[in-house]
Structure 1
Amino acid sequence: MTTPAERTRRVAQVAARHADDVDREGRFPSEAVSALRAEGLLGIQIPERLGGEGADMNRIAETCFALGQACAATGMIFAMHQIKVASLVTHGVESAWHRTLMQRVAQAQLLVASATTEGGIGGDLRNSLCAVEAHGDVFSFRKDATVISYGAHADVILATGRRHADAAASDQVLVALLADQITLERTSRWDTLGMRGTCSDGFVLAARDVPTVQILPKPFAEIAAQSMLASSHLLWSSVWFGIASGAVDRARTFVQAEARRRPGTVPPGALRLAEAVSALQTMKGAIHGGLRRFAEAQDAPDELGSIGFAVVLNNVKTTASTMAVAIVQLALGIVGIAGYKNGTPFSLGRALRDVLSAPLMISNDRIHGNTANLLLVQKGGGQLLSA
């Protein structure tokens, strides 16, 4: 039996072959996602008793890293899928319907997407305008989702909405909707600078007569705090680390080639390469620190929902997203015009365009604002330093 690393490597090779075309055409990386299915990687997080492999966050992060090096869009799709699976695994095991869904994800390698953004509320996923409208044991649902990444290609969409029509905007639930239960009316096209292959179009998502058992039993506030916060920041950051690492690899190859052409001299880019490698190691340390923090808190819901934990994971995201951009820019400066041009062994245009999305999803300013509010009510000063 092949190892997880070998399976990931095979998928990454497929993703890399098609990455330029996916970016150029702004199309879904169907070849890479088919390879993920063939290697059984979409269901690795599902518990073994439900047909999965029970993979932990470290293993999933390693896969995000490898895919990010090969094709950032593929890496991000895999990361977003696993973020939603984490919500099912963490909060759906008490529900028979959601246990069956997890079995299907593992067996049929279903692709899971997210519909948390909504017209009228900006990027604030902790508030909703739409609501679940229950009628007996079924409900209807309609959401103006300004972004549903790879929504047209998903087998399952997890969507947020108010608990009922009279509920407060923050009183939300998470509903699991199967592709054959919904209609998607496209309202916008994902024509962007980078991350073009995520196909994050906008849709009006509508569903009727959906069984109420498909509503996850936990309030979305708990789901967001206890699974989405950590998995989003850690897995996104792992994709960005892959992009940055790939850029530094190209810069290293370029500098080594320069050194071979001029024996006995230090190429001009060598010092900048050392700087880039140092920054990359610092970024890696921040992500690994976040993964350790999550592993320590994973079985303690109170800790996962604590202020200290949220601050630490927020800082992982803002640090990694900022550093990733700086590292790719540094690599471009080392490689120079050969990196600026498309179609060379050292081209970095796609990496730079993709990584520029990092500080924007979710906006670092929004996260810093949230962290500032948390720090205003946190007691004591030693907890963060020891975390």
Structure 2
Amino acid sequence: MNSRAEATAAVALANADAVDREARFPAEAFTSARTQRLLGVMVPTGLGGEGASLSDVADISYILARACASTAMIFAMHQIMVAILVRHARNSPWHNRLLRRLAKDQMLLASSTTEGRGGGDLRKSVCAVERTGSRITLTKSATVMSYGAQADAILTTARSSTDAAPTNQVLVAFVREDYQLDPIMNWDTLGMRGTCSAGFALNGNGGIDQVLPDPYEKIQSHTMMPVAHLTWASVWCGLAAAAVERARRCIRAAARSGDPSPVGIGHLTRATLSLRSLRGTLASALQNFEKVEHEDTALESLEFQTAMSLLKVTASEMATSTVMSAMQACGLSGYRNDGEFSVSRHLRDVLSSSIMINNERILGSVATASLLVEVPHSLRS
């Protein structure tokens, strides 16, 4: 599986600068991902996939991010939706057909959870599912929808009915023939430009069986949040690794040119240590998730939810610090937009990590929980 990911990463790397410069979808990389059958790896074998674990997906995300962070982030966001379908709709014939079709045709899934100007709160929806008999319609102002125009299907949150409370949410799957997207906002950003996270007015029309059977509250806490934070952290870790590798090559080049102690070597040491810590944090978090992924009580525990929420904050801060140290190790060569040692794209991409669901929002939401979670009494606790 990793060899196939490396093949796609080579294509992504060859086009990464153009994707960033033109703020365009990494089409070449996803043509390769489809050829390498990467989009359906997490689909169960009984439905035509490979039954890959989350650790497998995290590793692919890391490999892709070393080449192109936008490609890796799109892959990660797609796999979050696949994980949700696998975990929360396995008893739904309609969604099983979707998974089978995904594995066969290597469909790309997008999500639409952001709504309106205050779109950071994923646990509230303005739009609602409107039902007429066995049919449903939905109209949503999706102000940020990554690669929405390029996706083959979209999973979107909404209130369960027109008279439901904002937090009474469901998740609905629409395939391309079920919806229309009308652009309302463009995507011209500092980094992660290739994710094409523009805004759209989403108008969906389908059958009631396209609503996932589990309530969104359960989907979000059991799967969406932990899988998102683990895969996003894998992307940021891979991005940081790429920056460190450039810094390492830069210092080696300086040493070969006759400088026995390049000025940036201390920064390289700091970047290397930071990357090692980030990899360790991520590996531990993946292991902890896979231990309890089928245990509802453990997934809903305050300690687990807090740990998974804070993983996102920790990983984003560590990745940003690592890339900053790598840039300082490279000096002007790293600061430049051109040249083999430039980490400009890496720095701009990693700066998105703290505002993808803003870190301050997460810290505020877990503040009370932090007071309730006991401090361990020993290293083995």
Calculate the TM-score normalised by the size of structure 2. Answer: 0.97
Residue deviations 1:86-144, cap 9 Å, x none? 11011010111111111011111000000001005431010001000011101110000
Could you tell me how far 1:375 is from its partner in structure 2? Answer: 2.9
Mapped to 2, the partners of 1:381 and 1:323 lie a distance apart of: 22
SS at match of 1:126: coil
- Alpha carbon RMSD of aligned pairs, Å? 1.4
Identity %: 45
Mapped to 2, the partners of 1:215 and 1:356 lie a distance apart of: 35
Could you tell me how far 1:33 is from its partner in structure 2? Answer: 0.7
User: 2:33 aligned to 33, 36, 41, which one?
Assistant: 36
Equivalent pair of 2:302/2:373 in contact (CA under 8 Å) = no
For residues 1-387 of structure 1, the aligned pairs below 5 Å read 4-208=1-205, 210-262=206-258, 265-376=260-371, 378=372, 380-382=374-376
Mapped to 2, the partners of 1:384 and 1:240 lie a distance apart of: 30
Question: What amino acid does structure 2 have at the position aligned with 1:109?
Answer: Q
Equivalent pair of 2:117/2:143 in contact (CA under 8 Å) = no
Residue deviations 1:7-33, cap 9 Å, x none? 001000000000000000000000001
Residue deviations 1:291-343, cap 9 Å, x none? 01101111102211221111111121111100111111111111111111122
Question: What amino acid does structure 1 have at the position aligned with 2:147?
Answer: Y
Question: What amino acid does structure 2 have at the position aligned with 1:313?
Answer: M
Mapped to 2, the partners of 1:385 and 1:190 lie a distance apart of: 46
Could you tell me how far 1:260 is from its partner in structure 2? Answer: 1.8
Residue deviations 1:162-202, cap 9 Å, x none? 00011010000000001111110100001100000000010
SS at match of 2:167: coil
Moved more, 82-91 or 113-122: 113-122
Mapped to 2, the partners of 1:227 and 1:386 lie a distance apart of: 27
Mapped to 1, the partners of 2:151 and 2:357 lie a distance apart of: 22
Mapped to 2, the partners of 1:218 and 1:91 lie a distance apart of: 6
Equivalent pair of 2:264/2:329 in contact (CA under 8 Å) = yes
Could you tell me how far 1:234 is from its partner in structure 2? Answer: 0.5
Mapped to 1, the partners of 2:55 and 2:68 lie a distance apart of: 20
Could you tell me how far 1:384 is from its partner in structure 2? Answer: 11
Could you tell me how far 1:370 is from its partner in structure 2? Answer: 1.4
Could you tell me how far 1:73 is from its partner in structure 2? Answer: 0.4
Equivalent pair of 2:24/2:193 in contact (CA under 8 Å) = yes
Question: What amino acid does structure 2 have at the position aligned with 1:84?
Answer: M
SS at match of 2:161: coil
Question: What amino acid does structure 2 have at the position aligned with 1:205?
Answer: L
Mapped to 2, the partners of 1:374 and 1:262 lie a distance apart of: 55
Equivalent pair of 2:140/2:202 in contact (CA under 8 Å) = yes
Moved more, 188-197 or 366-375: 366-375
SS at match of 1:129: coil
Could you tell me how far 1:288 is from its partner in structure 2? Answer: 0.7
Mapped to 2, the partners of 1:380 and 1:123 lie a distance apart of: 29
Relative to structure 1, the CA distance from residue 384 to residue 16 in structure 2 (aligned partners, 3 Å threshold; closer, same or farther) is: farther
Mapped to 2, the partners of 1:161 and 1:135 lie a distance apart of: 16
Mapped to 1, the partners of 2:128 and 2:293 lie a distance apart of: 31
SS at match of 2:144: coil
Mapped to 2, the partners of 1:259 and 1:379 lie a distance apart of: 49
Q: How many residues align?
A: 381
Equivalent pair of 1:340/1:349 in contact (CA under 8 Å) = yes
Relative to structure 1, the CA distance from residue 27 to residue 384 in structure 2 (aligned partners, 3 Å threshold; closer, same or farther) is: farther
Question: What amino acid does structure 1 have at the position aligned with 2:82?
Answer: V
Mapped to 2, the partners of 1:384 and 1:134 lie a distance apart of: 54
Q: Which runs of 5+ in 1 are unaligned?
A: none
Calculate the TM-score normalised by the size of structure 1. Answer: 0.96
Question: What amino acid does structure 1 have at the position aligned with 2:177?
Answer: D
Residue deviations 1:230-273, cap 9 Å, x none? 1100000100011110000010111111122226x322222221
Moved more, 148-157 or 115-124: 115-124
Q: Which runs of 5+ in 2 are unaligned?
A: none
Equivalent pair of 1:161/1:172 in contact (CA under 8 Å) = yes
Could you tell me how far 1:383 is from its partner in structure 2? Answer: 9.4
Moved more, 100-109 or 297-306: 297-306
